[in-house]
Structure 1
Amino acid sequence: MKLLTFNKNGTQTLGVKVEAGVIDVAAALEASPDEQIETDIMNVIEGGSEAIERLRHFIEGLEIREDYVLNEEEIKWEPAVTRPKKIICVGLNYKKHADETKSPYPKIPILFNKFENALTGHLSEIVVPRTTERLDHEVELGIVIGKTAKHVSEEEALDYVFGYCTTNDLSARDIQKRASQWMTGKTNDGFAPVGPYIVTKDEIENPNDLQITTTVNGEVRQNSNTADMIFNCEELISYISKYMTLTPGDLIMTGTPEGVILGRPMEERVYLQPGDKMTVEVERLGALTNTFVEDVF
């Protein structure tokens, strides 16, 4: 299933993407009450396989009716993952990205974090902070954890996944490089767009073989495949679970491929500006579009 969150009268609520449009689950429940069906994505994730199967059965049994089937163009998107306890990011995890930045391949995953303030959704505006002149894009495959994971093996790691999503690790390169820790260049407001959907893991046979792209104002900037990752999804989940307990709803952003602005020759680096329109996409997970605006706060 393709699950999403949208804003309904100021509240984040669950939607399910179907061929006819987006099912507003809360509105559908008014027509067909079922106390076992959740209307919040985090509750669905925490409910595990049973919650998913109940929701799937409920959606399959619905008639297509205008009072609860919405047009995607009419909804206000929220982050696909709304309240993760942890947002764990992976640096330099693609061979060609390491090559373009003239960095050695890491021996172990490079981890850093973002916070909830960085989350934003599909079609939202993102402020270019006045503190940076070098804002860069980083399309990434996102892994949403579905079960509590501690010291899991690589062989069992994907059993702990709820689903996958398209993400963007926006990075203020000049701020990032000022200190040995990357946090201030990575976790500004809106620097972690996530969406438009979470696609449940049963629909993705191999997350380590998905096309991954970025376009800015229609120009293709990144075009690669998750097969180029240095540490694949199983390795990342297993490694991270050795150092912290992963819980349902946690988001792992698995790194970006080559094609970032930082990887271009100095004279060709044109960083993201107010007015730019950017789309990042991971195969089968959906295209995530955002526009940039000036910092006028």
Structure 2
Amino acid sequence: MKFITYVKEDRESIGVLKDNYIIDFSYIFKNIGEENPPETMMEFIKYSNKNKLNQIEEFLNRDNLEEFSVDRVKVSAPIPYPERNVFCLGKNYAEHAREVKITRITGTDIPENPIYFTKIASPAIGQEDSIKFSTKVTQQVDYESELAVIIGKDGSNIKEENAEDYIFGYTIINDVSARDLQGKHTQWFKGKSLDTFCPMGPVIVHKNEIPFPVELNIGSKVNGELRQNSNTKKLIFDIPYIISDLSKGITLKAGDIIATGTPSGVGMGFDPVKVLKDGDVVECFIEKIGSLKNEIKEI
């Protein structure tokens, strides 16, 4: 199943996206007899278990469901306000680690251990929303297409072989980055966390739709020009390792988001560099999940 958060008639709702049509969760829950239905994606993730998801899927196999076209709504980030910062991985594809040329930001070595940082998403922006920045703050805005893992239940000290049990699903994050701020502050938090710098979506795909281990084509385009083109099987630290390692001493919680890193082809990897400018359209895409498109606006 593909889960979506959307705005229709000024009301934010959640639903299932099926063949470009939305079946609203309030309609689903009413028909399966759920007395206290979740109203947000975060609530739905915490509510979900195998039996409840099977019940929902069984209902969706009925004929003549009440549905409407996704084109009639505004698609939001699946989790517009995460309860905690997004967990992020730096330099988690070898070719991306090698392409980084500005040593004030990071070296070009292949990491021996995961590089973790966090990113504010308050809110995360959604499909067709604008990535906004002022040139008085940054002049080196870059894109990073990333597979994001959504945690489905609380857990700590998770074994790698049990990692999939703790996954709810997957989405796309564009880890928008102000490279000059990364260099200026010699760490990544502020340069990754400016307002609107966390596009997410367009949907969360439940883990049952994506075989494990996760090997998906991933990439990005700017104004239609292919920039990134790789596969998640090239992750240096794979998803089971990341979940296990992060959970050592840190309790992962339902609804947590882990952005697993970006492949080569970012703007700062080109010579000369290709920073984003007003009017550019960035499209991040991942096989089986979809495409996340945002326009750049200088303010």
Give the TM-score normalised by the residue count of structure 2.
Answer: 0.91
Q: Secondary structure at the match of 1:197?
A: strand
Asked whether the 8 Å contact 1:38–1:44 carries over to 2, the reply is yes
Shift of 1:28: 5.4
Matches within 5 A, 1:61-210: 61=62, 63-65=64-66, 69-86=67-84, 87-101=86-100, 103-117=108-122, 119-130=124-135, 131-210=137-216
Shift in CA distance, 285/160, structure 1 to aligned 2, threshold 3 Å:
same
Task: Give the superposed CA RMSD.
Answer: 1.9
Structure 2 residue 8 is the aligned partner of structure 1 residue 8? yes
Matched to 1:53, the amino acid is: N
For 1:163 and 1:141, the matched residues in 2 are separated by 11
Shift in CA distance, 13/62, structure 1 to aligned 2, threshold 3 Å:
farther
For residues 223-254 of structure 1, what are the alpha-carbon distances to aligned partners after superposition, in whole Å with 9 as ceiling and x for unaligned?
00111111000110111101311100000000
Shift of 1:289: 0.7
Asked whether the 8 Å contact 2:81–2:123 carries over to 1, the reply is no
Unaligned runs of 5+ in 2: 102-107
Structure 2 residue 289 is the aligned partner of structure 1 residue 282? no
Asked whether the 8 Å contact 2:26–2:37 carries over to 1, the reply is no
Give the TM-score normalised by the residue count of structure 1.
Answer: 0.92
For 2:246 and 2:31, the matched residues in 1 are separated by 43
Asked whether the 8 Å contact 1:117–1:188 carries over to 2, the reply is no
For residues 153-194 of structure 1, what are the alpha-carbon distances to aligned partners after superposition, in whole Å with 9 as ceiling and x for unaligned?
111111100001111100010111111221110011111111
2:105 match? none
Q: Percent identity?
A: 36
Asked whether the 8 Å contact 1:128–1:274 carries over to 2, the reply is no
Shift of 1:118: 5.1
Asked whether the 8 Å contact 2:121–2:197 carries over to 1, the reply is no
Q: Secondary structure at the match of 1:123?
A: coil
For 2:31 and 2:74, the matched residues in 1 are separated by 23
Q: Secondary structure at the match of 1:243?
A: coil
Structure 2 residue 244 is the aligned partner of structure 1 residue 230? no
Shift in CA distance, 161/285, structure 1 to aligned 2, threshold 3 Å:
same
Shift in CA distance, 143/20, structure 1 to aligned 2, threshold 3 Å:
closer
Asked whether the 8 Å contact 2:14–2:24 carries over to 1, the reply is yes
Shift of 1:23: 1.2
For 1:199 and 1:108, the matched residues in 2 are separated by 28
Q: Size of the alignment, in residue pairs? A: 290
Matched to 1:38, the amino acid is: P
Shift in CA distance, 247/29, structure 1 to aligned 2, threshold 3 Å:
closer
Shift in CA distance, 58/83, structure 1 to aligned 2, threshold 3 Å:
farther
Mean CA deviation greater in 99-108 or 217-226: 99-108
Shift of 1:29: 5.3
Matched to 2:40, the amino acid is: D
Structure 2 residue 267 is the aligned partner of structure 1 residue 261? yes
Structure 2 residue 53 is the aligned partner of structure 1 residue 52? yes
Shift of 1:151: 0.4
1:42 match? 42
Matched to 1:262, the amino acid is: M
For 1:213 and 1:82, the matched residues in 2 are separated by 23
Asked whether the 8 Å contact 1:42–1:82 carries over to 2, the reply is no
Q: Secondary structure at the match of 2:185?
A: coil
Shift in CA distance, 222/282, structure 1 to aligned 2, threshold 3 Å:
same
Asked whether the 8 Å contact 1:6–1:75 carries over to 2, the reply is yes
1:26 match? 26
For 1:97 and 1:224, the matched residues in 2 are separated by 11
For residues 12-38 of structure 1, what are the alpha-carbon distances to aligned partners after superposition, in whole Å with 9 as ceiling and x for unaligned?
210211126111222555677642543
